[in-house]
């Protein structure tokens, strides 16, 4: 599958890094919980799109039972009967559905038998035909890409994104390779190579009847996130047109004249505008955006909010400012009176309807868990995917003020008879008394009034991300073993307002690490069934970084498992594929002032002499986000100190672990590592009284 198609699957919701951080193994006693091998039997719903008449919904089902990474398959459900048909066979990979304006065709990407590329099908799954045989992608880091397929309003053409090599493609893939680009590495999740393919994304259009293809844009820039105007004359797109686009990440919004190829610039700012979408009457444009002078390519400290402007680019306004939390790309209500978007709040991801003329936001879905993809019908019906505390993502429908109706139950057979650990939250006061910090505790199954249970501290990545009550496979397999899991939303996390997200500025491996330790302190004192002698710590990405750091600061954990963690803030800054991250997090480049010294002082590697916790380091071989050299350095340093260390490297993996067999192996090794270093229950008295 080419990288463009892989990117579409990720955006459709088939894999998120938190999914990669969500896995573990085997039941205790009579409690029948999840085991690591159960992962290959799971299915997850994603990418829901309502048909124009509201009678059908196209959606994807992501399965974990095939070799390699999980992959989606396209299904179409008739809402009246809830009967679904799969587009293609068991081995086919399909997704990214887009209905024609009249609902008579569905465009999608993937492979069905010998047919591949951009395909069409009737709503009943018949007449599958190839519209464009070859769609090329790129592994270049282009975060926040929006739609890559859009229909003309008359249904006669389909615009799509494909790629063409720029002038540096040949030299960068030659023998020898000649590197001239600053951004010469691929994106975080690619996992196959270490080099940018130097392909550029452009806009193409294909005639549905005759299948003639026209390239509408070209040049040294990438165009993506497309939406065809209601009058059929223009296509919106996002692009970074900076002269130093590799060094400065900055999407602006443009409109392409379909007839003559001219381009109209709609924004010119130092901040980012993502995923533009025309209003139904073509008079306004909604988009997701920031307003600070620097936005990092990989993560953003600033919460993105929903914005709106006139079709000519005038009167830009931040309509999402009424909610002080991170927001997703907006979708227009069919009558143009409101926009819908998701918002992160205290560990959950809710669906909101916001009137564009002003007024109070309406929470359409505010259940405990996470809304993924969603689609809004003409009568206000909403179909959406939702991850509850007890299952992976399923498809739901909600009409008016009525209760949501569950449309899929893909894991009913697997979960029948399985016990799922309950997740509860608690708050505590931070070490500097500035914040109320929230943590989520997944309780073990099979607890009794006298039983004692190990605790695994699982730290989220980002740092600008969040944990919450949504189903977490890794935590649940730990629960099945009788282990609790603690997720702390330390300062810097999203879902708690901009001030909280900003609180990690200039303070990496500082007070946010103390938030984690204070969360552990609160947990062991409030939940007396936690066994202080059997505590482990782990995390992925920034969670791996904090794991590295905290084992140099405390010996309270019996074992540690950092995955894709940063051990050296200096070397990482110059080896990662994105290079504005530390500038955003600290306010200047590392070479300016004394920041190089500060970064080294806040690196786990500098303090490795204090690390005595047995550590198993996990890393993807081709991680271009946090290069594997970070784990290589820390592994050797731990060995030099005399600390027990094991280094596990997974081929074909980028940032995080994604192949199902690798996730299962990672899970099994993690459990074995903890069991090796946890003392037997009740074998000794309480010696661990930290902090």
More confident residue, 294 or 669: 669
Rounded to an integer, the average pLDDT of 540-550 is 97
The sign one gets for the Cα dihedral 528, 531, 533, 538 is: negative
Q: What is the CATH number that goes with domain 136-317?
A: 2.120.10.30
pTM, rounded to two decimals: 0.93
Separation of alpha carbons 424 and 320, rounded Å: 29
pLDDT at 686: 60
The sign one gets for the Cα dihedral 228, 234, 236, 237 is: positive
pLDDT at 6: 39
Classify 565 in phi/psi space as left (phi over 0), alpha (psi -120 to 50) or beta: beta
Residue 30: is its pLDDT beyond 50?
Answer: no
Q: Which of the four pLDDT bands, split at 50, 70 and 90, describes residue 687?
A: low
Q: Which of 683, 659, 670, 623 is nearest to 189 (CA)?
A: 623
Rounded to an integer, the average pLDDT of 12-41 is 56
CA distances (Å), origin 607, targets 5, 552, 601, 690: 42, 6, 8, 19
Lowest-pLDDT choice from 163-177, 289-303, 636-650, 665-679:
163-177
pLDDT at 578: 84
Residue 14: is its pLDDT beyond 60?
Answer: no
- For residue range 164-217, list pLDDT tens digits in order: 988 877 777 788 888 888 999 988 888 888 889 999 999 999 999 999 999 999
Rounded to an integer, the average pLDDT of 662-691 is 85
Whose structure tokens read 């008295």?
Answer: 685
- Six token digits for residue 248: 């400065």
Q: What percent of the chain has pLDDT over 70?
A: 94
- Six token digits for residue 280: 């139904």
Residue 286 sits at φ, ψ, to 5 deg, of -105, 150
Residue 15: is its pLDDT beyond 70?
Answer: no
Residue 575: is its pLDDT beyond 70?
Answer: yes
Separation of alpha carbons 420 and 548, rounded Å: 30
CA of residue 620 relative to chain centroid, distance? 17
Separation of alpha carbons 441 and 428, rounded Å: 13
DSSP structure string for 118-182 = EEEE-TTS---EEEES------S--TT---SEEE-TTSSEEEEEEEEE-TTHHHHTSSS-----S
Same fold flag, 136-317 and 415-677: no
Spell out the domain ranges in the chain. Answer: 136-317, 415-677
- Six token digits for residue 669: 């090794």
Separation of alpha carbons 458 and 328, rounded Å: 25
- Residues ≥6 apart with Cβ < 8 Å to 260: none
Query: Within a 10 A sphere around the Cβ of 549, how many other Cβ atoms?
Result: 26
- For residue range 218-256, list pLDDT tens digits in order: 999 999 999 999 999 999 999 999 999 998 999 999 999
- For residue range 126-140, list pLDDT tens digits in order: 999 999 999 999 999
- For residue range 138-160, list pLDDT tens digits in order: 999 888 899 999 999 999 999 99
Separation of alpha carbons 669 and 436, rounded Å: 35
- Residues ≥6 apart with Cβ < 8 Å to 141: 183, 185, 186, 187, 188, 196, 297, 298, 577, 578
Alpha-helical segments (H) within 41-123:
none
pLDDT at 143: 87
Whose structure tokens read 């564009």?
Answer: 356
pLDDT at 190: 85
Evaluate whether 455 touches 475 at the Cβ level (below 8 Å).
Answer: no
Q: Is 81 exposed, middle or buried (0-12, 13-18, 19+ CB in 10 A)?
A: exposed
CATH architecture classification, 415-677: 3-Layer(aba) Sandwich (3.40)
Residue 683: is its pLDDT beyond 90?
Answer: no
pLDDT at 685: 60
Rounded to an integer, the average pLDDT of 612-634 is 97
pLDDT at 684: 58
Rg (CA), the chain: 25
Alpha-helical segments (H) within 329-454:
412-415
Q: Which of the four pLDDT bands, split at 50, 70 and 90, describes residue 19?
A: very low
CA dihedral 515, 521, 527, 530 (to 10 degrees): 110
pLDDT at 82: 95
Return mean pLDDT, the chain. Answer: 92
């Amino acid at each position: 599958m080419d990288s463009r198609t892989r990117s579409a699957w990720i955006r459709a919701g088939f894999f998120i890094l938190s999914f990669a951080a969500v896995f573990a193994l085997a039941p205790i006693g009579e409690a029948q919980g999840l085991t690591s091998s159960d992962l290959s039997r799971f299915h997850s719903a994603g990418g829901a799109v309502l048909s124009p008449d509201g009678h059908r919904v196209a959606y994807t089902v992501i399965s974990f039972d095939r070799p390699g990474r999980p992959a989606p398959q396209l299904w179409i459900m008739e809402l009246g009967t809830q009967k679904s048909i799969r587009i293609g066979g068991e081995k086919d990979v399909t997704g990214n559905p887009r209905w024609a304006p009249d609902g008579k065709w569905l465009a999608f990407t993937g492979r069905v038998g010998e047919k591949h590329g951009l395909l069409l099908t009737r709503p009943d799954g018949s007449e599958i035909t190839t519209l464009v045989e070859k769609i090329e992608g790129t592994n270049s880091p282009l975060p926040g890409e929006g739609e890559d397929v859009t229909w003309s309003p008359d249904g006669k053409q389909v615009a799509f994104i494909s790629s063409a090599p720029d002038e540096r493609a040949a030299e960068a893939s030659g023998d020898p390779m000649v590197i001239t680009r600053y951004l010469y590495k691929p994106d975080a999740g690619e996992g196959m190579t270490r080099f940018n393919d130097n392909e550029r994304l452009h806009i193409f259009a294909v005639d549905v009847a005759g299948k003639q293809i026209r390239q509408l844009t070209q040049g040294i820039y990438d165009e993506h996130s497309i939406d065809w105007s209601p009058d059929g004359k223009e296509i919106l797109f996002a692009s970074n047109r900076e002269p130093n686009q590799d060094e400065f990440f900055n999407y602006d919004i443009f409109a392409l004249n379909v007839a003559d190829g001219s381009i109209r610039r709609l924004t010119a700012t130092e901040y980012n505008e993502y995923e533009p979408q025309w209003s139904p009457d073509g008079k306004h444009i909604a988009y997701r955006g920031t307003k600070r002078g620097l936005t990092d390519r990989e993560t953003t400290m600033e919460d993105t909010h929903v914005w709106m402007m006139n079709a000519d680019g005038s009167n830009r306004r931040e309509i999402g400012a009424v909610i002080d939390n991170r927001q997703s790309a907006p979708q227009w209500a069919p009558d143009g009176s409101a926009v819908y978007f998701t918002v992160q709040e205290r560990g959950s991801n809710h669906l909101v309807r916001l009137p564009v003329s002003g007024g109070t936001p309406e929470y359409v879905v505010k259940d405990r868990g996470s809304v993924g993809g969603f689609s809004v019908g003409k009568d206000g019906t909403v179909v959406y995917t939702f991850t509850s505390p007890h299952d992976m993502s399923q498809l739901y429908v909600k009409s008016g003020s009525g209760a949501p109706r569950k449309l899929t139950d893909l894991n009913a057979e697997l979960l029948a008879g399985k016990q799922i650990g309950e997740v509860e939250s608690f708050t505590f006061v931070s070490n500097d008394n500035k914040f109320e910090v929230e943590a989520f505790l997944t309780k073990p199954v099979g607890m009794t009034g006298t039983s004692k249970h190990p605790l695994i501290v699982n730290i989220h990545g980002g740092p600008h991300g969040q944990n919450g009550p949504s189903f977490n496979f890794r935590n649940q397999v730990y629960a099945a073993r009788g282990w609790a899991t603690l997720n702390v939303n330390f300062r810097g996390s999203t879902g708690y307002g901009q001030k909280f997200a900003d609180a990690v500025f200039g303070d990496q491996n500082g007070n946010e690490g103390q938030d984690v330790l204070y969360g552990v302190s609160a947990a062991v004192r409030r939940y007396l069934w936690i066994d202080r002698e059997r505590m482990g710590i782990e995390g992925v990405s920034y969670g791996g970084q904090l794991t590295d750091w905290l084992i140099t600061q405390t010996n309270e954990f019996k074992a540690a498992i950092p995955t894709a963690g940063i051990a050296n803030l200096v070397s990482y800054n110059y080896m990662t594929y994105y290079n504005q991250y530390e500038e955003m997090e600290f306010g200047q480049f590392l070479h300016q002032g004394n920041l190089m010294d500060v970064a080294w002082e806040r690196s786990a590697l500098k303090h490795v002499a204090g690390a005595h916790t047995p550590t198993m380091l996990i890393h993807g071989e081709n991680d271009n986000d946090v290069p594997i050299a970070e784990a290589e350095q820390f592994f050797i340093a731990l060995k030099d100190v005399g600390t027990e260390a094991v280094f596990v490297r997974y081929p074909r993996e980028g940032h995080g672990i994604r192949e199902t067999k690798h996730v299962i192996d990672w899970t099994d090794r993690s459990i074995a590592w903890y069991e090796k270093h946890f003392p037997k229950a009740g074998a000794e008295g309480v010696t661990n009284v930290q902090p």
